[in-house]
Amino acid sequence: MLLSLLACRTGNRERLIQNEAYEINIAKNQTSVLILFPCYPCDMEHTKREANFLKGIGDQGITTILLNYNRKLFLTETEKINLSKALQDIFAINQIKSNNVFLGGFSSGGNIALLIADYIKSHNTKLNINGVFSVDAPVDLEQLYYNAKNDIALNVNEGAKSEGEFLVNLLEREVGDPAAKTNSYKKYSPFLLSQDFLDNLLNHNKYKIRLYTEPAPEWHQKHRGREYQHTNSWMNERFYEALIQHGSKSCELIKTENKGIRANGDIHPHSWSIVEQNSLLEWMK
């Protein structure tokens, strides 16, 4: 869904701007803007509920823009053009200063944040992107496909198996079987380990990158039957190494431990909660 540009103001003094496509909390003394993308089936309400680091962040000078832009693992060229324009329009319509902008995303939203940050940086838009972070994102779509196949074969957890079947069907339909469609995966994936491919992030030296993940190998083995090489954490470690080898000077890999706890109390390493506010604020300075 393309972002709606109907800004629903409740008055000139209101800090909160809401509509069905986004929610903006404008900090009184803004120093930075943080744009957040949700996971594939999620929305901004999920982000508000699960991202603990948002609590009180406006008091630290951070204006937040929470988006409902979802149900995507990657962006086509047309989607990049449209999303870039929509983001610029959000800033213009709502009169938000755009000189110090950061993007972040959870799971598939991390892929979108990485791809659109690089696109915006390469096209010299009015948005000054200074950094982007992803939270346990499936950055290698080819590896994601094989991880999903692995979950189906293991058949240890019904939810993981169902998600695996959904991902395999989705990727085969929209990108193809990676064994036969390598060029298609090159076109869309932020990173491909098998090809040492980073061409969709050619501008990675022009902004800061932070990769959050919680390895939790024991959790994956106990609850999903997975070996570590079939997790997003392993994928993110390889992504980080590739960025460094390709000359990135401002890339960080943040590996947490026992931080993955969802709002309902469930322990789960694939969670927004692995992002800690103080560390994030320091990175954004």
Structural domains of the chain sorted by starting position, each given as residue range(s) with its CATH number in brackets: 16-138+204-284 (3.40.50.1820)
d(CA 272, CA 193): 25
Q: What is the pLDDT of residues 72-97, one digit of tens each?
A: 999 999 999 999 999 999 999 999 99
Q: Which two tokens stand for residue 196?
A: 């040492």
**Do the bridges between strand 129-135 and strand 101-106 make them parallel or antiparallel, or are there none, so unpaired?**
parallel
% of the chain surpassing 70 pLDDT: 95
Distance of CA 179 to the CA centre of its chain: 26
Q: What is the pLDDT of residues 106-156, one digit of tens each?
A: 999 999 999 999 999 999 889 999 999 999 999 999 999 999 999 999 999
**3-state SS assignment for residue 34:** strand
In the beta sheet, which residues pair with residue 102?
Answer: 34, 131
Alpha helices in the chain (DSSP H): 44-50, 77-93, 108-122, 141-154, 158-174, 182-188, 217-224, 232-245, 277-284
Side chain identity at 60, as an amino acid letter?
A: Q
188: confidence class by pLDDT, cuts 50, 70, 90:
very high
pTM summary value? 0.95
258: confidence class by pLDDT, cuts 50, 70, 90:
very high
Q: Phi, psi at residue 247, to the nearest 5°?
A: 95, 10
Tell me the three-class secondary structure of 192-208, residue by residue.
EHHHCECHHHCCHHHCE
Give the other-Cβ count within 10 Å of 162's Cβ: 12
* Residue 5 burial by Cβ neighbours in a 10 Å radius (0-12, 13-18, 19+): middle
42: confidence class by pLDDT, cuts 50, 70, 90:
very high
Q: DSSP secondary-structure letter at 105?
A: E
d(CA 151, CA 87): 36
d(CA 125, CA 103): 15
d(CA 38, CA 135): 10
d(CA 19, CA 23): 6
Residue linked to tokens 């997790």:
231
Residue linked to tokens 């931080």:
259
Q: Which residues contact 264 (CB under 8 A, 6 or more apart)?
A: none
Q: Phi, psi at residue 160, to the nearest 5°?
A: -65, -40
Q: Give me the pLDDT at residue 4, please.
A: 47
Distance of CA 126 to the CA centre of its chain: 21
Q: What is the pLDDT of residues 218-234, one digit of tens each?
A: 999 999 999 999 999 99
| Residue closest to 44 by CA, chosen among 113, 105, 134, 127 | 105
15: confidence class by pLDDT, cuts 50, 70, 90:
confident
